[in-house]
Structure 1
Amino acid sequence: MAADLVLDGITKAYPGVQALSGVHLEAYRGQALALMGANGAGKSTLMNVLGGIARMDAGTISIDGASIEIGSPRDAKAHGIAFVQQELNVVPSMTVAENILISDFPTRAGLIDGKAMRRHTAALLERLNCPFSVDETVENLSMGDRQMVEIAGALAREPKILIFDEPTSSLTNREKRKLFEVILSLKQQGVVIIYVTHFLDEIFEICERVTVLRNGATVGTRMMGEVTPLEIVHMMLGQNHSQERLSEPRSGGNKPLLTVSGLNRQGVLADVNLEIREGEIVGLWGLLGSGRTELVRALTGLDPIDAGDLRFDAGGGLRTVTPQQLHRQVGLVTEDRRGEGLLLPQSVRQNLSLASLGTLLNSFLMIDRRREQALARDLIERLGIKVSNPAQRVGTLSGGNQQKVVFGRWLATRPRLFILDEPTRGLDVGAKNEILKLAVELARSGVSILMISSEIEELMRVCDRYLVMSRGRIIEELSGSSAKSQLMDAVSGKAPLEALAS
């Protein structure tokens, strides 16, 4: 059977980086093709070529046996290609209907036809089983609902080829199930689906074939029924990947670095008490809506608190601090690295030095560029950040390397406490392993870490203790040797029903 979409010999280079080297990909109508690879393997670049966002240097693209030219997103749209990107392209100040049809508003007598726009978008939202109104302003929606708006916008073009780039990264389980139902419907309609993700379980549920890239080249293509998850990981990394512990749990011994007593925020946090000791990794575990991120934001002054006593040892023993003072003492790796952690248009050098500018000033109170350059090169080498040079724009790096830049910025300030909020979200298994190893190395050097992750397995590879949250409270403390079932049991019966169902 001849493929309906063929990308052959696709090559793309950026200054100092060979992003794609003769990539070959085939996809078929009525099927979903999983595109897998480690961060930096070339997945996004390849899809940007197909979506008209980037121009290839060499190669051919064929649809239904005919060679086509794609030089812009407009060209891609003309050939029936739609792209649901990982980084949302919605306009927060506009309505849902306006966002969905932003590239093709219906008109009447030369003016936008509001009734037709709402009618068309209402049908799309019903198809996706979305609970919000077409007239709702997007900035009032959750990240998951914004993702559904992005997907509805792609469906509005009635595509023949639909690319999903990490579509479930912001979705709850309920929203993910809705998306999978839509993908099944699209396959039944004969649409070509290309599904880019880091979640192996998803591709075995919805995809028929998988193509794996490594270092910008095609490693191979397999039918899903002929390959195991471990084999895919081996193809991605070129090596076996272990889920064993990176560090055996340690108990007690060290003195407290941070103590929190009676932390409250009405309707969000209730009587939170915790202690973090020097050189230990504490996992903060809980289901959706348990208050994990809200606790971190309250601790660091990003959200207000109603009451609570915070004591921190900045040298010389525990002393009372405000959340704002604590913020200046910790390295905070936020859940949203692109939205909150990085200045995407700026260089890697500028992002790495951002938290250390006060130490890089010369006698004229200007930034000493040579010292800034030296700092950046030292951190790049220390963390193994893959970059052509420190002047490269940080927005062009892979997700794993972007996360290393966030780590590097705080490492330069030598904090005694790191707070990591979903530090491996959106990363492949190899990049996740590197980030977890970095956390272990920091702990061994005496740095304390409070780590949030939605993946219990990740916490269980590195943590010395677990704090379990539900409904804004810490309901239990477990040792690092606890089994996965014990963490799950700790929240069962104590978590809100909507969280358990998500």
Structure 2
Amino acid sequence: MNEAILQMRQITKSFSANKVLRGIDLEAYKGEVLALIGANGAGKSTMMNILCGIYQEDGGEILIDGKPVKFKHPTEAIERGIAFVQQEMALMPTMSIVDNLYLNNFQTKGGLIDYKKSKRKCVEVLKKLGCNYSPDTLVGSLGAGDRQLVQISRALLSNPQIIIFDEATSSLTLPEKERLFKVIEQLRRENVAIIYITHMMDEIFTICQRVMVLRGGITAGKDLVSNVTHADLVQMMIGDKVKELTEKNSKSAAVSKEAPVVMKVEHLTRKGVVDDISFEIHEGEVVGLWGLMGAGRTETVRCITGLDPIDEGTIYIPDRDAQLKQVSPKKMIGNVAIVTEDRRVDGLALEMSVKDNMTSANLKNLTGRIPGFIDKKKELDVCETYIRRLETKVANLNQPISTLSGGNQQKVILGRWLQKKLKIFILDEPTRGLDIGAKADVMKVIRELSEKGTAVLVIMSDIDELMSVSQRYLVMHNGRLVQELPGGATQTELMAAALQ
């Protein structure tokens, strides 16, 4: 094996009383892809944030090429050849691709920005990932997958010695993943050390040579990928929860068409985005909204919930005797729970506390004897109830929600809506970026909602996950609803409908 370019020895880190890292050793070797895995909250991202100078370790040391380093700022890590492709998008949507790639490091000539050279280099690195966009394309006009490729391109610009991918494929289509894997293989041949954080087990066995598992801030296991199985890794990640996952992975029975309709969408249209969408959802039914990336799934639910404007159409909610032609989030908040695709952009107030995020949609029900004032005890009781119910890992309710792992942030969002006891839930990629244990918790919530008579419209790009909970499917293609399929449909039938 090549020499270890990176050594992290006995790294510790705490946030207030919450010990996130408890003495972790990590080595990365030139020409190797190291899979770094673990449940949400295990400490993976914190470990990498320390390596990149975003956080400073409380204890331990970092060595690069055998020499101790301590990064106090991300630019210091970049200068030492470390690049970080983060899970959450870190791009400026109102700026062009080239401006995003060179945001703080433009090519210059005579003290001025050399746009010609910058654009030429931009085109070269985009082509590595199979992107043929003009450097002048606005990032805001790109879909989630293409934005992720732009973010990866930015990391490749500096020719890093160590590159960290944190859930890099969570927004990518299969062809985009395959292109990325080819780039990673090429980087490996060029002797770059790669740390690959993922929850996708198949990816570990496809591109990684070694695996390291974290659990609860400690190392749960290290080995060559060739020496472990899928079951071994799951056991290391979540321990006793393995049995629970295997026993509770069956979807609920299909709901009768005689069940009351709780939402009816008629001729929903947003010109150039979605066209003439009509469907209905019944009480207690889980409906999977399926389609390939760009089919219009997210755009449809954003129109339904008022997050994006519509040109035509009606949303009818019989239980509330509401017929809405001008939809807005304010009108929908009392009728529909919405978990958006990107929780950090439009699902959370990142600088606010866990408590404030969890209760933000239910303030009217938390007032006390004095109108307009929150009953603090009632608020605390509600938060603690849903923290326990969803097994959310928090140090305290007043900590900023930005300090939680992605899975725990998602549980806070679910707790926000569960306390309102609404009859309709719309979930857009509720398991994206979550570990296998957190995914199981979300699936359990979906099934419990269905059993209690709540209607759920769910989008999941992972077809196996979608099929494990859905009782009926609505299939989209190119902004249109092209087919409805029963719960017994096969993967082949779903893919065929999506490709028509």
Q: Same fold (TM over 0.5)?
A: yes
Which stretch has the larger CA shift, 466-475 or 416-425?
466-475
* Residues 379-418 of structure 1 aligned to structure 2 (within 5 Å): 379-418=386-425
Deviation at 1:160, TM superposition (A): 0.9
| Residue among 317, 320, 323 paired with 2:323 | 320
Secondary structure of the structure 1 residue equivalent to 2:164: strand
Find the counterpart in structure 2 of residue 337 from structure 1: 343
- Map of 1:89 onto structure 2: 90
Tell me if the contact between 1:249 and 1:463 (Cα under 8 Å) persists in the aligned partners.
Answer: no
Query: Which of 441, 458, 467 is the equivalent residue of 1:460?
Result: 467
- SS of equivalent residue, structure 1 residue 24: strand
In structure 1, C-alpha distance between the alignment counterparts of 2:255 and 2:382, rounded to whole Å = 35
C-alpha distance in structure 2 between counterparts of 1:129 and 1:247, whole Å: 38
| 1:203 match | 204
Q: Distance in 1 between matches of 2:265 and 2:86?
A: 40
Work out the percentage of aligned pairs sharing the same amino acid: 46
Q: Please name the residue that 2:217 is paired with.
A: 216
CA distance in 2, matches of 1:58, 1:214: 19
84-93 or 115-124: which moved more?
Answer: 115-124
In structure 2, the partner of 1:420 is: 427
| Contact 1:468–1:490 (CA under 8 A) maintained in structure 2 | yes
The more displaced of 22-31 and 122-131 is 122-131
* Cα offsets for 1:194-252 (capped at 9, x unmatched): 11111112222221111111111111222122222222122211143428634332331
Q: Which residue of 2 aligns with 1:57?
A: 58
The corresponding residue for 2:308 is: 303
Which of 249, 258, 264 is matched with 2:253 structurally? 249
Give secondary structure in 2 for the equivalent of 1:225: helix
After TM superposition, the structure 1 stretch with the greater mean CA deviation from structure 2, 441-450 or 343-352, is 441-450
Letter in 2 for 1:45: T
Determine if contact 2:36/2:212 at 8 Å carries over to the other structure: yes
Asked whether the equivalents of residues 61 and 68 of structure 2 are also in contact (C-alpha less than 8 Å), the reply is yes
Structure 1: how far apart are the matches of 2:100 and 2:125?
12
Q: Secondary structure at the match of 2:360?
A: helix
Q: Which runs of 5+ in 2 are unaligned?
A: none
The question of whether the paired residues in 2 share the 8 Å contact of 1:249 and 1:465 is answered with no
Q: Which stretches in structure 1 are left out of the alignment for 5+ residues?
A: 495-502
Alignment of 1:81-480 (within 5 A): 81-239=82-240, 240=242, 241-242=245-246, 245-252=249-256, 253-314=258-319, 320-322=323-325, 323-324=327-328, 325-361=331-367, 363=370, 365-480=372-487
Of 175-184 and 110-119, the range deviating more from structure 2: 110-119
String of CA shifts for 1:451-477, please: whole Å, max 9, x gaps.
111122112222222222333333333
1:500 alignment partner in structure 2: none
Once the two structures are TM-superposed, the CA of residue 42 in structure 1 deviates from its matched residue by: 0.6
Hey, what's the Cα distance between the residues in 2 that align with 1:72 and 1:112? 25
CA–CA distance in structure 2, aligned partners of residues 460 and 143 of structure 1: 23
SS across alignment from 2:464 = helix
3-state SS of paired residue (2:188): helix
Distance in 2 of aligned mates of 1:34 and 1:276: 41
CA contact (8 A) 1:6 1:27 kept: yes
In structure 2, distance between residues paired with 1:486 and 1:357? 44
Distance in structure 2 (CA, Å) of the matches to 1:141 and 1:208: 33
Inter-partner Cα distance in structure 2 for 1:262 and 1:148: 34
Whether the 8 Å contact between 1:280 and 1:447 is mirrored in structure 2 is yes
Q: Distance in 1 between matches of 2:255 and 2:144?
A: 38
Shift of 1:89: 1.9
Partners of 1:249 and 1:481 within 8 A in 2:
no
Structure 1 contact 379–408 (Cα < 8 Å) conserved? yes
Whole-Å separation in 2 of the counterparts to 1:307 and 1:394: 37
**Residues 1:254 and 1:302: Cα distance change in structure 2 (over 3 Å):** same
Deviating above 6 A after TM superposition, structure 1's stretches of 4 or more consecutive aligned residues are none
SS class of match (1:439): helix
Residues 411/287 of structure 1: CA separation in 2 closer, same or farther (3 Å cut): same
Does 196-205 or 268-277 show the bigger shift? 268-277
Matched, 1:484 2:491: yes
Cα shift at 1:278? 1.2
TM-score by length of 2: 0.91
CA contact (8 A) 1:164 1:195 kept: yes
Tell whether the 8 Å contact from 1:244 to 1:461 is kept in structure 2 after alignment.
Answer: no
**Paired residue type of 2:466:** L
Aligned-pair RMSD on alpha carbons? 2.3
Q: d(CA) in 1 for partners of 2:278 and 2:119?
A: 49
1:326 CA displacement = 4.3
From the superposition, tell whether residues 243 and 162 of structure 1 become closer, same or farther in structure 2 (CA, over 3 Å): farther
Normalised to the residue count of structure 1, the TM-score between the two structures is: 0.91
Which range moved further: 260-269 or 391-400?
A: 260-269
Report the Cα offset of residue 299 of structure 1.
1.9
Are the structure 2 counterparts of residues 41 and 305 from structure 1 closer, same or farther at C-alpha, using a change threshold of 3 Å?
same
Aligned equivalent of 1:499: none
Superimposed CA distance per residue, residues 68-118 of structure 1 (whole angstroms, 9 cap, x where no aligned partner): 333332332232211111122222333322322233333344333333333
